[in-house]
Structure 1
Amino acid sequence: MNNLLKISLFLFALLGSVLQSSSQNLAPLAKQFIESLDADLKKQACFPFDHTERFNWHFVPRERKGPTFHDFNEQQKAAALTLMRASLGEPGIERTEAIFALENILREVENRPPNDAYRDPLNYHFSVFGDPAGAKEWGWRLEGHHLSLNFSSDRHTIISSTPSFMGSNPALVLSGPEKNRQVLANETHMGFAMVHALNETQKSTAIFSEKVPYDILTSNDRRASLLQPLGIAYSALNSDQQQLFQELVTLYLSRFTPAYQGLLQDRIQEQGWEGFTFAWAGSEINAVGEPHYYRIQGADLLIEYDNIQNDANHVHTVIRDLQNDFGGDLLLSHYQKNHLRP
């Protein structure tokens, strides 16, 4: 990460921490971000709420719409970062900033030149859908390599923070000044702790395949579908295993703002933990070169973790909300009635 971005992240850390813990209303910050842009950048960043671009999400290096940190002056960069931080919980902020910085490490791992644009910590795009200053629904997205964060708001409240994708390549830095850095370490270690906590009979149910999917199965689908209900049921776990399972789910939900995380936890409590399952594929050895995958389903939530690429040193994780991705069925109905705009 370059020095200017580091300075901006530092200066706005305290402000972002206060904002993300105190409010679900992102509209004033989104409005400030938009107002900081000149006419050309506004044209690049702003879309109607019912535009097809809203669903055009992915997590691989590719051409994207929306301005990046390369396009921003310091005021604009600060406004963008403040909006980002207010939209996430502290663990989500930390992972997002680490994913930015990991592009520099990946550039070195792949022996790319210093000015390479394919691996670039500044190449993350900001897009706003709808009018944050208005009375209707609106949303925004931050996206680039290994990161796709999608937010929907209605009546001054975040009603959706999914799809939410975070990835890490390398999963574990093997050499250089950042050796042993592991951006998604907790997701990895707690997943292994969960499968290792099972007895052999439970493993025979939880482990559905020795072969690992090449990627997350939901990919970048517009609507995530409930995957085949493989794995072990929450009700088949003992109390210690159930506690570990709940901690693993909470780890993922902690990426979101405390208020939005609370909404999802309320849903889980209402529907009950008994409907959840934990499924595993691949190796039980926690080491580079040992492919593994797990997924969690329940309360209309779907969490996937996959590590197989680059000799099993390349992690993808995603949180999907089967009720409420991109704001859910109510907003989807709005799009369909008003015809999606190209």
Structure 2
Amino acid sequence: MTYLLKIPLCLFSLLGSIAHSSSQDLAPLAKEFIGSLDTELKEKACFPFDHEERFNWHFVPRERKGPTFHDFNEQQKAAALALMHASLGEPGVERTEAIFTLENILREVENRPANDDYRDPLNYHFSVFGNPGGTKEWGWRLEGHHLSLNFSSDRHTIVSSTPSFMGSNPALVLSGPEMNRQVLANETNMGFAMLHSLTKTQKSTAIFADKAPFDIITSNDRNAQLLQPIGIQYSALNPEQQKLFQELITLYLSRFTPAYQGLLQDRIIEQGWGSFAFAWAGSEINSVGEPHYYRIQGADLLIEYDNIQNNANHVHTVIRDLQNDFGGDLLLSHYQKDHGPESKEKQGK
């Protein structure tokens, strides 16, 4: 049995040696990626910024638009991976590459043939929306099973890296050469650490259901909203619990580039840690076979985690920005300014 990703490993090692960019300007790398494509692949990969496909996101196996690693030559694979690396923080890159490789493990867990393309580590799609490096807004997406990474830029600056979904099936590899591998171990273990730090009285506020919901509640909704009940407030935690809660939130934000993390951290400082709350549903036992769910809400951010399916060995996590998913109101206002009636009137003069 082999679980190696069927992309030349030299590509990952090559890209790993590239210094992680502290800049938010992804446009040069996106242009390089587009420039590496032939006419047919450009038609598959490129959409107008306002195309409805930009909001057509999901994290389940399904038919998708945009070329995949199957379509790329070595140069194109390298350009695609370089864009991916620059768009994420190091933990985000590590998790993304691990999610790719889990498809081979899942293929064998499900006893699928070696040529099966339902579980396929190459079946991840790249789409670009708008013209990177131009005078207008643009974005891009990387998506496949258990992965949906959406990035939106105001010309040269990332204004949104959400919705951001990462999942793991199996959550814990139970057999084979990769036995005990756990791609989202920190998200699981730190969530339980937060729960287990609570007193009985605190748990009565934080735990809103004995049974976990079947999946993340916001699913692939276009517009996410705060969920009820809200759980236990940050202000109701003692200093050690507050520190642990901050570390859990920071764990999720570390998936993003340092520059984008900084934007979110500025918002947290502005709105205050006191805006956050932690809620739990399901089992309090950290073990396969014990379904559980938690969520974090605050500073207009919503983070959901669940481990329910496949005998509670199948993790979903998502980060939603209630202000700026897909660029939010900021890019919408810019687009309306450039393309709305006032803009058209000026162009007609």
Alpha-carbon distance between aligned partners in 2 of 1:293 and 1:332, rounded to the nearest angstrom: 33
Residue identity matched to 1:308 = I
Whole-angstrom distance in 1 between the partners of 2:24 and 2:193: 33
Question: Is 2:27 aligned against 1:7?
Answer: no
Partner of 1:328: 328
Q: Answer yes or no: is the 8 Å Cα contact 2:173–2:181 preserved in 1.
A: yes
* Residues 133 and 155, structure 2, Cα contact 8 Å, conserved in 1: no
Moved over 2 A (4+): 1-5, 330-339
State the Cα distance separating 1:333 from its structure 2 match.
4.8
1:111-162 deviation digits (Å, cap 9, x = unpaired): 0001100000000000000000211110000000000000001131110000
Look up the match of 2:347: none
**Preserved contact between residue 224 and residue 322 of structure 1 (Cα < 8 Å):** yes
Residues 73-152 of structure 1: matches in 2 within 5 Å? 73-152=73-152
Distance in 2 (alpha carbons) for counterparts of 1:311 and 1:4: 31
Aligned equivalent of 1:303: 303
Cα contact 1:232–1:277 (8 A) shared by 2: yes
The Cα offsets for residues 27-49 of structure 1, whole Å up to 9 and x where unpaired, read as: 00000000000000000000000
Residue 343 of structure 2 is matched in structure 1 by none
Aligned pairs (5 A) from 1:196-235? 196-235=196-235
Q: Matched residue of 1:12: which SS?
A: helix
**2:170–2:314 Cα contact (<8 Å) kept:** yes
1:39-60: CA deviation from partner (whole Å, max 9, x where unpaired) = 0000000000000000000000
Question: Deviations 1:217-264 (Å, cap 9, x if unpaired)?
Answer: 000011101111421000000000000000000000000000100110
Q: What's the offset of the Cα at 1:334?
A: 5.8
Percentage of pairs with the same residue: 82
* Deviations 1:267-309 (CA, angstroms, capped at 9, x unpaired): 0011001111000001110000000000000000000000100
Question: Match of 1:27?
Answer: 27
- Using the size of structure 1 for normalisation, the TM-score is 0.96
Give secondary structure in 2 for the equivalent of 1:142: strand
- The amino acid that maps onto 1:101 is T
| C-alpha distance in 1 between matches for 2:261 and 2:5 | 32
Aligned partners of 2:302 and 2:319 also within 8 Å: yes
Q: Tell me the distance in 1 between the aligned counterparts of 2:289 and 2:316.
A: 15
Superimposed CA distance per residue, residues 84-114 of structure 1 (whole angstroms, 9 cap, x where no aligned partner): 0000000000000000000000000000001
Residue 2 of structure 1, CA deviation: 3.8
Query: How many angstroms apart in 2 are the aligned matches of 1:306 and 1:219?
Result: 11
Contact (CA 8 Å) 1:229, 1:277: kept in 2 or not? no
Counterpart residue type for residue 305 of structure 1 = Y
Q: Distance in 1 between the 2:237 and 2:165 partners?
A: 28
Mapped partners of 1:100, 1:5: distance in 2 = 13
One-letter code aligned to 1:176:
G
Question: In structure 1, how many angstroms separate the alpha carbons of the residues matched to 2:336 and 2:44?
Answer: 24
> Measured at CA, do residues 69 and 104 of structure 1 come closer, stay the same or move farther in structure 2, by a change above 3 Å?
same
- The answer for the alignment partner of 1:281 in structure 2 is 281
In 1, Cα distance between the equivalents of 2:212 and 2:155? 42
- Kept in 1, the 8 Å contact 2:172–2:313? The answer is yes
TM-score, normalization by structure 2: 0.94
SS in 1 for 2:131: coil
Aligned residues: 336
Contact kept? 2:6, 2:121, Cα under 8 Å? no
Show structure 2 runs of 5+ residues with no match.
Answer: 341-349
